[in-house]
A and B are shown apart, each in its own frame.
Chain A
Amino acid sequence: MSERHIVIAGAGHAGGRAAEALRAAGYKGPITLIGAERHPPYERPPLSKELLAGTGTVEKTYLRPAAWYAEAGIELRLGCAVREIDPRAQRVRLADATELPYDALVLTTGARPRILPIAGGEGPRVHYLRDIEDCLRLRERLVPDARVVLIGAGFIGLEIAATARQRGAAVTVLEIAPQVLSRVAPPPLAAYVADLHKRHGVEIRTSVIVTGIEDTGSGLSILTNAGERIAADIAAVGIGVQPNTELAASAGVTVDDGIKVDEFGRSSDPAIFAAGDVTRHFNPIFGRYIRLEAWQNAQNQAIAVAKVMAGGTQPFAEVPWFWTDQFDMNLQTAGPPGPWDKLVWRGEPAERAFTVFHLFEGKPVAATTVNNTRDMRFARMIVGRGTPVDPALLADKSVKLQDLAR
């Protein structure tokens, strides 16, 4: 049993942590970690922040130095994607036509950026950001006075906007919804974040639909539904990601906007597990399936699934947690995607630091801290408990969140 050959398809953040965690759990059998990218496993958050800003290095994004994998007895095959899975023969076929048998397969194929479905949505001056090469290519264009247009005001778009602004670019953000962070932030929080950007000289324009992008030869002309033409040197697009489920789907594994897995990372195929951005996984705390695009999930779900594969019995059951850094703001949010019907403020947006609880039918279902990391630990516990809390207590700063979390 312990000599089973485990193959991990996808050598990104989740794949890298899965391989490490198998060894840390005492798994001694062969492990092959396969990835299309040329870098060893790395984490992506610096790609819109430190690495893009030029204050970080490529190597600092790596989970481990490249040499670590061989030392840990992990075969690392980079620059070569898995193209096909034969689930009956339990083999994978790689892009270079080699075939590998597996006893257990972990799919950590991640997600890819959604491409603007318009004329000119792709081109040399239209940047998407997913991997290190994307980041370095974009970084070269973020120079003082460069006219940079962000399409999409989600976390990626806003982080790129902040980094671009800090590098001296002239930045405009175009957002299709009436507010920034439309998927995740209540209007008052979105307004707070938009103000932050405006104070730093970023132009934010909401309710704008980009209908086409023309490359003029020396720049871009961005067309909007209002008939405007916005001139830019480059555009950077952040309109979401889609999970890379094609490999799983063509092998007959159940896919539903993500590879469907249980709380142990098991898919519909008994020899195939999955973790990270590619999954739609059952979260036992909230009793439903969720798909997350988050660092914590890539790391902790991968570690949990590896432990299960090494013989453990613990499910992956965490309160989803996410952070973003834009200018001098650190915003963190805990809780799964879902509706809320009431907001409880602990502190004021006018203060530099505050916390917001999102309630649904009386229960805290999410919490956001702005420059207030101290609150997040207990806010997460309160959200995880899922029991009703008196909003007056949540709002009262003289009541310790620690006591409400018990």
Chain B
Amino acid sequence: MSESGSGEWVTVAQRSALKPGEVMGVQVKDKEIALYDIDGTVYATENTCTHAYAYLSDGWVDGDVIECPLHGGRFEIKTGKGLGPPIDCDIKTFPVRVEGENIQIKIGG
């Protein structure tokens, strides 16, 4: 689920652009990424729902769960775990760090 080891850190957004309880979508190279702020900590997952073609960043953050707007599929943001039908495949998460004003995620490896 979560990548570690090799890979590179890439700046994807400014910290000030994301507020607690929010989700935003960013594009990094060929990847669509969703960034979340849960109580001041930033998390990242793939943005395309594993169920059908929709962006989680268009959906709703409910505590530490993201709900896809298309058919209501839900994932745990911190772990990417799918929380029941229609989701049968967890979503990929990415390591996140904040360097100054930059939100960075680790891709590749």
Residue positions of A touching B, CB distance < 8 A: 17, 20, 24, 43, 63-64, 295-296, 299, 303, 321, 323, 330, 373-374, 376-377
Q: A373-B58, A374-B58 are in contact. Are A20 and B85 (CB under 8 A)?
A: yes
Given contacts A64-B88, A299-B86, A303-B85, 15 further A-B contacts (CB under 8 A): A17-B85, A20-B85, A24-B84, A63-B88, A295-B71, A296-B72, A299-B85, A321-B72, A323-B70, A330-B70, A373-B58, A373-B69, A374-B60, A377-B60, A377-B69
CB-defined contacts of B86 to chain A, threshold 8 Å: 43, 299
Give the distance to chain A from B76, nearest Cβ to Cβ, in Å.
16
Number of interface residues of B (CB under 8 A): 13
CB-defined contacts of B70 to chain A, threshold 8 Å: 323, 330, 373
CB-defined contacts of B46 to chain A, threshold 8 Å: none
Interface of B is mostly: loop
Within 8 A of A (CB), among B42-70: 54, 58-60, 67, 69-70
**Cβ contact of A376, chosen from B54, B69, B84, cutoff 8 A:** B69
Which A-B residue pairs are the 10 nearest by beta carbons? A373-B69, A377-B60, A299-B85, A373-B58, A17-B85, A374-B58, A299-B86, A374-B69, A303-B85, A373-B70
Task: A299 to B85: give the CA distance in the assembly, Å.
Answer: 8
Report whether A323 and B71 are in contact in the complex, using a CB–CB cutoff of 8 Å: yes
Give the distance to chain A from B20, nearest Cβ to Cβ, in Å.
15
Task: A64 to B85: give the CA distance in the assembly, Å.
Answer: 11
Task: A63 to B58: give the CA distance in the assembly, Å.
Answer: 24
Within 8 A of A (CB), among B11-51: none
Closest Cβ neighbor of B60 among chain A residues:
A377
Task: A43 to B69: give the CA distance in the assembly, Å.
Answer: 18
CB-defined contacts of B88 to chain A, threshold 8 Å: 63-64
CB-defined contacts of B54 to chain A, threshold 8 Å: 373
Task: A373 to B68: give the CA distance in the assembly, Å.
Answer: 9
Query: Contact flags (1/0) for B83-98 with A, using CB distance below 8 Å?
Result: 0111010000000000
| 10 A-B residue pairings within 8 Å (CB atoms) | A63-B88, A64-B88, A296-B71, A299-B86, A303-B85, A323-B70, A373-B70, A376-B69, A377-B60, A377-B69
